[in-house]
Structure 1
Amino acid sequence: MITSIKNDKVKEWKKLHKRKGRIQTGTFLIEGFHLMEEARKSSWKIREIIVEEDIDLPISYEAFPVERVTRAVFKEISQTESPQGIAAVVEMNRQSKVIGEHILLIDSVQDPGNLGTIIRTADAAGIDSVILGRGTVDLYNDKVIRASQGSIFHIPINVEDLLETIPRLKEDNYEIWVSALKNAQKYNEVPLSNKIALVLGNEGSGVNPAIINSADKIVKIPIYGKAESLNVSIAAGILMYYLKG
């Protein structure tokens, strides 16, 4: 039982709250029974489980290394307002080559809630792979993970330079669709091809102009009311479901 917040292990866990600590160790923290279960059912490796002293641990978790901690210690490492008393250190999963007919490319989306929701929706819509461009919020940010509801464990996600990735996708016969407003067609008036890579951009500035210039199709979602624009995660959902026919 770890009883002190000054314990070396507690200090190491707290380092995972920051991107630097996650990169140095190749690990990240997840919290709560739902995320635990999604990770356990996936191919991702759970390095250890951290559980509050009075929490009953399901039998299915007893195969993993377990650290019991006091409530005060768990509160110290928790990043949620209402901790469930269970967390885990998970190893980052180095993804293999992007595959599939429908790929989502994310250009500099900054809000972790938006990114997590987009990943969750991509998983639900049956998108084959997701590529996060440079400048996008860290995949292992706790808010991204929570908003994804565990979908990060179910869909291949890579981090790449999109300006280098897009030419490779074109060579592999992907049609590049970019979501933008200028010189754009209504998304539902554009015929679907067999292999499509859809690019979505930053909440404020949109997609990098250099990426727009590389597009085969520029698509937009019409606005019928007085709203200036759609939230990027909502736009992502509409476009991804259209791609799936």
Structure 2
Amino acid sequence: MKKITSIHNAYIKELQKIKDKSRERKKTQRFIIEGKREISLAIKGNYEFDTILFVEEIISEKEILTLFNKNVNKIVISKEVYQKLAYRDSTEGIIAVTKSKEFSLEDIHFKNKNPLILIAESIEKPGNVGALLRTADAANLEAVFIADPKSDLYNANIIRSSMGCVFTNKIAVATSAEIITFLQKNNIPIYAATLQNSNEYHKENYTKASAIVVGTEATGLTEQWRNAATQNINIPMQGQIDSMNVSVSAAIIIFEAKRQRGFKF
């Protein structure tokens, strides 16, 4: 089995670029997953793996084979090389070089007539994107649409903050205009979380097909979404501020929709 111990190895330098730079991920159609839990979820999401790198002192080849079949390409690396490629401080000793998927609207098909969808417009912080994906997974939503994205979903921080839920959700990435057209074509009402011309969120009926749209904390949703909305909605505030973290706001509305649909708390 091949072994790499130098951080100056050409392949390791190539992987560093893939880890750090979105354009390299797009060019190579590869990204890096770190950690057993995240890799396990990518396996459930039917991702294809290019290479597995692991530290023998931390994780054995036998453990590797419980995750992957015998034919997967494996490389033993030193702890120094692992630390160069790892994003987290915690050490599990395994990294997967993984083939990217296209997050296309054309691949979105619903199993039922009343899908519940989360749409996030131009969310800038990867941590917030990851938290939204965790919420979507927790609520078992039919899909998550990322409108006018500010970062690619294979960003290491999104993978980490989503706890691997980027691999478990049905996701599409597109422009706001494309997503609005998709929703209108499929007769899915739009509920836009915004203060302007809005109704309190709990007064709406989400038992039919519903798309819940959230925007950035700084500027909120754009006029495009406010105008396209079937109904603008807000979460009443009792303190001094007029907004919450976007993932918290999304969770409140989503679980109200789940409650209306018969979800047992």
TM-score, length basis structure 1 = 0.94
Deviation at residue 186 of structure 1 after TM alignment: 0.5
Residue of structure 1 equivalent to 2:263? none
Letter of the 1:50 counterpart: L
2:212 and 2:92 mapped to 1: Cα distance?
37
Tell me by how many angstroms 1:209 deviates: 1.1
Distance 1:136 1:207 in 2: 14
Q: Which residue of 2 aligns with 1:49?
A: 52
C-alpha deviation, 1:28, in angstroms? 0.8
> Which ranges of structure 1 fall in alignment gaps of 5 or more residues?
none
Retained in 2: the 8 A contact 1:115–1:137?
Answer: no
What does 1:108-119 align with in structure 2 at a 5 Å threshold? 108-119=122-133
**1:83 corresponds to:** 91
**Alignment identity in percent?**
31
Distance in 1 between the 2:192 and 2:244 partners? Answer: 15
Is this contact kept in 2: 1:107–1:136, CA < 8 A?
no
CA deviations on 1:37-71 (whole Å, 9 max, x unpaired) are 21223311122111013122313235321111111
Kindly indicate whether the alpha-carbon contact (under 8 Å) linking 2:133 and 2:166 is maintained by their aligned counterparts in 1.
yes
Runs of 5+ consecutive residues of structure 2 not aligned to the other structure: 261-265
Q: Does 1:165 align with 2:216?
A: no
Structure 1 residue 3 corresponds to structure 2 residue 17: no
CA distance in 1 between counterparts of 2:100 and 2:210 reads: 27
Instruction: Map Cα deviations across residues 197-236 of structure 1 (whole Å, 9 max, x no partner).
Output: 1111012111111211111110011112233321000011
1:19 corresponds to:
22
Alignment of 1:97 with 2:107, yes or no, is: yes
* Code of the aligned partner of 1:211: W
- Residue 140 (1) aligns with residue 154 (2): yes
Equivalent-residue separation in structure 2 for 1:137 and 1:118 (angstroms): 14
Q: CA deviation at 1:131?
A: 1.1
Q: Please, what is the CA RMSD of the aligned residues?
A: 1.5
- Number of aligned residue pairs: 245
Match of 1:184 among 198, 215, 227: 198
Residues 133-179 of structure 1 deviation map (CA, whole Å, 9 limit, x = unaligned): 11333211111111111111111111101112212311211001100
SS in 1 for 2:4: coil
For 2:30 and 2:76, locate their aligned partners in 1 and report how far apart those are by CA, in whole Å: 19
CA contact (8 A) 2:149 2:173 kept: no
SS of match in other structure, 2:255? helix
TM-score (structure 2 length as normaliser): 0.88
How far is the alpha carbon of 1:15 from its aligned partner?
A: 1.2
